[in-house]
Amino acid sequence: MQVPLLRLQCGVNSYEWGKAGSDSAAARYAAATPRDGFQVESKKPYAELWMGTHPSNPSSDIETKRSLLDLVQDNQALMGQDIAKKYDQKLPFLFKVLSIAKALSIQAHPNKKLAAQLHKDNPKEYKDDNHKPEMTIAITPFEGLCGFRLLEETAYFLKSIKSLRALVGEDASKKFETAVENSKSQAEQKQALRAAFTSLMESKDEDVKAASKELLEQVQSQQTDFPGKDAPAPGGKVLAELLPRLNSQFPSDIGLFVTFFLNFVVLEPGEAMFLRADDIHAYISGDIIECMAASDNVVRAGFTPKFKDIPNLTSMLTYTLAPPSSQKMTPVPYPYCKLNTTSHSSDSSAMLYDPPIEEFAVVKTDLKNAGAKVTFEGIEGPAIIICTEGKGKISVGPKTEEVKEGYVYFVGATAECVLESTDGAKPFVTFRAFCELAEEGGEGKGNL
């Protein structure tokens, strides 16, 4: 029987927002195991490395050149019988590396019910019928807009920025402020937020263009005091740099004003956040690991030349309010592995990022000295592992292979997997995405 360890070749997508050439982690990782003669071009933007079975860009086995989708559909044992049955013999997750030089679209991903309807009504834009909750883990410092701000913060901006108030409209702005000041009903507050945000998003292009000019003039005039000395987070200094930068990428775009409704979130390497279906967000900069349910559905409404679906975006959002800290996830030590003595003495770690869904979880492993080793117990589900730094080796059963930055491996269900650092100069850093269904009444190894 074939040892369930496959080195993968993975495709990289070139989108305008990606980092150029070797500045892109996605491009460097793709070049480590090049597919179809791939070579990095210095001026070309590289945005996303895809790892998985999604038909838009499926990974393939480096030895046989067969797609991973073909391999797991031919051999249910690679997936685990229960997962193969539940997810139609496809990986339940899509694993990515994103390299972001300019803002991605203001977007949300539909829940399962809406995804099925969108796919039925407009299959050209919505290519599958699945939901797309997703998790982001920073490789380098990351900036993003994620989730709605607290209402008091948006009310401050409406009072302090005339161009924003003009686009939202005086009537919607006053109703919003009244709800913030007087209503104790969460439902009423959400309705006021929805009305104000929808009014903004339905602004005419010529009005947005004029308002953008006025906004940037105010930023230029007030500088780090924009829009007032007591401005909500991230504060005038950040906004005075951020808004002109966004405008240089997408001139006179409605997204400039969406910034005042959403939380500005910064992640340092190793920090993470989870986005449920129907959560609004826009990534701004950085290199990240991203894991999501296996879907490519995106409802967009700004910072993009692509199809914008404002009616669906404004109607699908939950309008949940939360501070930036609530967007972040706290990893915990992964208990279903064993670190050797060298790992313990070098402060190595295996940390679990466990979102509240069953399709995926991710373990980040840092082995900080040569000889540091971690042994993962076999699980009843598949895994994909990518190395983002350092050198080492991976072993499954009698098979051992080298691992370098950018190498990607598939590990089949039930297989014990060993990772070991072979280089003391740099930490050996890997991310392992996996799925294991919880037993009825119990927990899987990604659900603690």
Catalytic residue ranges: 300
255 membership: H or E segment, kind and range: helix 255-258
State how far the Cα of 107 lies from the Cα of 104, in Å rounded to an integer.
Answer: 8
Residue 138 pairs in a beta bridge with 288
Q: CB neighbours (10 Å) of residue 139? A: 21
State how far the Cα of 230 lies from the Cα of 245, in Å rounded to an integer.
Answer: 22
Nearest 5°: the CA angle 339, 410, 277 is: 95
Residues 288 and 97 sit within 8 Å (Cβ to Cβ): yes
* Residues 382-398: b if buried by 16+ CB within 10 A, e if exposed: bbbbbbbebbbebbbee
Residue 182 pairs in a beta bridge with none
**Distance in Å from the first CA to the final CA of the chain:** 33
The string of DSSP codes covering 264-325 is EEEE-TT-EEEE-TT--EEEEEEEEEEEEES----EEEES-SS---HHHHHHH----B--HH
| Cβ neighbours for 186, distance < 8 A, ≥ 6 positions apart | none
| Cβ neighbours for 419, distance < 8 A, ≥ 6 positions apart | 365, 367, 373, 374, 376, 385, 392, 393, 394, 403, 428, 430
Torsion over CA: 392, 395, 401, 406 (sign): negative
Residues 122 and 70 sit within 8 Å (Cβ to Cβ): no
